[in-house]
Amino acid sequence: MQTYRLKLTDDGIGIAKFIDFDGVDASSALSVLSNESGGRRAELWDGARLVCTIERDSEGSGFWVVNPVVRARAKAA
């Protein structure tokens, strides 16, 4: 199991909070966020590394959009 942290801001939909949880992988965050309202946005952290941002569909469908962090690849010298 890996320990992750979700960071949610005070966005007018819900309060700011941190949620620490253990999961098999990063997809476990979706279960942890299952009770959050539509339109909520969270950052998923693995220690000091930002894994992705997650945003719940504001239309009420319950879908989450996961946006991975894109890191620039080092150019070969």
Q: What are phi and psi of 13, to 5 degrees?
A: -100, -40
Cβ atoms within 10 Å of 7's Cβ, excluding its own: 15
CA 67, CA 3: separation in Å to the nearest integer? 20
43 pairs with which residues across the strands?
A: 7, 53
> Which two tokens mark 27?
């997809």
CA proximity to 65, closest of 28, 25, 38:
38
Residue 27 has pLDDT above 50, yes or no: yes
| pLDDT tens digits, one per residue of 29-72 | 999 998 888 889 999 999 999 999 999 888 767 788 898 887 65
* Predicted local distance difference test score (pLDDT) of residue 11: 86
> Which two tokens mark 45?
């952290």
